[in-house]
Amino acid sequence: MTDPHAHEHTADLADTDPHAGHTEATRGHQHHATDTVTSPDDPATHDHAHAHPMHTADSGADEHAGHGGHGDHGGHAGHGADHVAQFRKLFWINLILAVPVVGFSSMFAMLFGYEIPDFPGANLIAPVLGTVMYVWGGWPFLTGAISELRARKPGMMMLIGLAITVAFIASWGASLGLLDHELEFWWELALLIVIMLLGHWVEMRSLAQTTSALDSLAALLPDEAERVEGDLIVKVAPDQLRVGDVVVVRPGGNVPADGRVVDGRADMDESMVTGESRPVARSVGDPVTAGTVATDSGLRVEVTAIGDDTTLAGIQRLVADAQNSTSRAQRIADRAAGWLFWFALAAAAITAMVWTLVGNPDAAVIRAITVLVIACPHALGLAIPLVVSIATERAARGGVLIKDRLALESMRNIDAVLFDKTGTLTKGEPTVTGIETIGPLDEDAVLGLAAAAEADSEHPLAKAIVRAATERGLTVPPATNFSSSPAVGVTATVEGQEVRVGGPYLLDEMGAGEVEAAGRWRTDGAIILHVVQDGVVIGGLALADEIRPESREAVDALHKLGVQVVMITGDAEAVANAVGTDLGIDRVLAGVRPEDKAAKVAELQREGIKVAMVGDGVNDAPALAQADVGIAIGAGTDVAIASAGVILASSDPRSVLSVIELSRASYRKMKQNLWWAGGYNLISVPLAAGVLAPVGFVLPMSVGAILMSLSTIVVALNAQLLRRLDLSPENSTRTILNR
């Protein structure tokens, strides 16, 4: 930002000004809207309990997310509240049916020392109730087994279905006297079904919770929107809104669609979209996002996007896509789960063969069933999808949108984070950073005169000066006779005196010298403007692209993690080095043209450095695609977002730390779950087969069923621990810096 033609900065800086481009038509529209305000501060009466139907399809997209690649399990087709209720109902009914089956078991009677009641038909209680339990309680597992068979993807449902079917047939054979009475497994079958239903009920509850990210996003939209129609305010459904409509957002109300504020000012709670906990002030001309909340006062908003084009709908799609995408670790786990089915089936066959050869056919059936029951490919198949689903949800709540799960996996191994300077480490808009006076006037007086002269200008530098005066609480006097001269500056009459504000050409025209601080400001890369009153220089202003206060924390925390910080910019070396030194950045790449950014990323990669690139503009897209992980920060652009694997909803550079923390935490959980699921099966299957029978230890079939259910529950509960992560940028940074 060292261009000497201070008032010729156009494209780059103008784009950063949120108020640029307001036409007279727009202002007229605003006044018209104001004329029809009817009690804008009336309390909101919206009921937000239900999401609007327009988002049903999106939220439904997550129905299978908990299983990832295991949506083919017939009994597991969906994981919504209705599916949880189904397993809960089946569990309680079958538990009641199991009581008499177990109670009429001779083993339990002998164990607890009671006599089984003897009455006509007593011997039919266990077979009849056991059959009901097999057909009704076993239905989810049997249909799941059929689905797996049709899909040619054998898994847990086939193992369970095979186990309960063998037990059912053997028990009927024994009850009818066709097989040895030792093969009567009614009580084992009853407990097996009850335990399986309990395990799946608990699992379904865990999985159903992972859909809450999409459900809560959909619930952010109000059921009704209040549309301004002439002098009336009409309540309509959000999907009836059209671009250009003006809607009233009352205090405490949710914005029904993306739009631009045309009347009013409010502090907006945007935490559900950006992860930023502090309210953000929005006033006329500022954009607002569907789902955000006006916390303190009412607004009028002109709709700029509706339905699937809104930011909220885009976030929903990204969350759903991420939860349904597949990573390297997931593919390995899926293959392992498939292999485990054949391993368990082979182990069951070998077990039956060995026990038959040693002369114990009854034990052969019991041991084979126990092997089929205890093997749990589902724990292995669930180990990663559940972690990823919860991680994606937590990320979305923290303003981090995972577009590509491979990017999330890779983030834990990043060696360097490459930040684009403008709009990422800096605010991307000029700010007054220094004032020096010459003569009797103080800083406030000089700034006030400059703001008065610049008040009618649309230039970003002019807006920065006016904003600085407003932030200081200065009363800016009115100006007349405003005129602007390209490359020179502006001139206006303020309180009867001519005031001019401009760059070096203004001084050249006057033959005047710079203020004393100009040299220092220039070294720091600032733009320098001088203020002239009636032909006399009365002071100078330094303007620069202000460094975000969060950037220092982000750099410090990345260093704490052992990650290099590199800054890339098209700015001159003096400007870039000033920012780099201020922030403590390891490497500064200055004077880089937009088309060369990707080449710079490739250079770092050739040094053996794994690079995460953080950018927000169109010219960052090739570099984002080249990097090991591309991260689009802030609103970004469609092109940048298309090239990125991770999207940060806010412009806070500390959000990068949230991504690293999430990547490392989710990887730990994946590893723990895989070790548990794999280790459990390697140990439990041989035990179920009876390898310790020579030393007197034989694993009961019912215990095998309990262990199988517990293995899945352990994996699910371990993944749930990720919910403790607070991925807000400030918390992630504070956690790292306090280690």
Catalytically active residues, by annotation: 420
Cβ pair 191, 102 in contact under 8 A: yes
| Count of CB atoms situated within 10 Å of the CB of 511 | 6
How far is residue 419 CA from its own chain's centroid? Answer: 21
| 564 backbone φψ class: left, alpha, beta (φ>0; ψ -120 to 50) | beta
> CA-CA distance, 344 to 350, in Å (whole number)?
10
Question: How many Cα neighbours within 13 Å face the side chain of 543?
Answer: 30
- The DSSP element (H or E) to which 157 belongs, if any, is helix 156-175
Integer angstrom CA distances of residue 50 from 46, 55, 184, 268, 550: 11, 11, 51, 21, 36
| Count of CB atoms situated within 10 Å of the CB of 15 | 14
Q: Is 607 exposed, middle or buried (0-12, 13-18, 19+ CB in 10 A)?
A: exposed
Q: Is 101 exposed, middle or buried (0-12, 13-18, 19+ CB in 10 A)?
A: buried
Length of the chain: 739
DSSP class per residue in 397-432 = HTTEEES-HHHHHHHTT--EEEEEIIIIIEEEEEEE
Integer angstrom CA distances of residue 590 from 482, 551, 571, 576: 38, 18, 6, 6
Whose CA is closest to 685, among 375, 408, 410? 375
> CA-CA distance, 367 to 375, in Å (whole number)?
12
Integer angstrom CA distances of residue 305 from 149, 251, 290, 313, 315: 46, 22, 9, 10, 14
User: What is the dihedral sign for C-alpha 509, 511, 516, 518?
Assistant: positive
> CA-CA distance, 152 to 147, in Å (whole number)?
8
User: Vertex 131, ends 127 and 133: CA angle to 5°?
Assistant: 120
Q: Is 496 exposed, middle or buried (0-12, 13-18, 19+ CB in 10 A)?
A: exposed
Please state whether beta strands 299-305 and 246-249 pair in parallel, antiparallel, or not at all (unpaired): antiparallel
Question: Helix (H, G, I), strand (E, B), or coil: what is residue 242?
Answer: coil
- The DSSP element (H or E) to which 149 belongs, if any, is helix 139-151
Longest dimension (CA), the chain: 121
> CA-CA distance, 40 to 62, in Å (whole number)?
38
| 496 backbone φψ class: left, alpha, beta (φ>0; ψ -120 to 50) | left
